[in-house]
Amino acid sequence: MPRRRKRVPPPGRAGWEDTPQAGFDSGKTDPAMEGQSWATKVTSGGRVVLPAEARTVLGLKDGSGLRIVLEGGQLVLIPYLEVVRRLQEKYRRLVPGDHSLADDLIAERRAEAARD
């Protein structure tokens, strides 16, 4: 049976289109590496091999997910961990203080179970 690809929502539905996307900056990259470029080619099936140094700089391992954004005629690769970090940062201000939404959800589920 053929393997189905997971659909990724297009920018605009992902909720992070209004964040800076010019490159990857999680604060973990070496500033000396900013502006670094590497050469690669598109191979059969549209595959692109990321050079080892680029994978190391971005902390990518086999199986790491990437978001690909078309921006100004260029492709920008953003690791999913960075996408998650940006979303968490964006929505963190909606949760007051050190309040835990997970604890709220667990309490709600326990209350529902007790009522049943």
CATH code at 44?
2.10.260.10
Question: Model confidence over 3-23: pLDDT tens digits?
Answer: 554 444 444 444 444 434 334
Pairwise CA distance, residues 12 & 36, whole Å: 29
Total-model pTM = 0.52
Give a yes or no: residue 13 inside a domain.
Answer: no
Domain span including residue 48: 31-115
Indicate the number of domains in the chain.
Answer: 1
Q: CA of 47: how far to CAs of 43, 50, 56, 75, in Å?
A: 5, 10, 19, 14
Question: Model confidence over 57-112: pLDDT tens digits?
Answer: 888 889 999 999 999 999 888 888 888 888 888 888 887 777 788 888 999 999 99
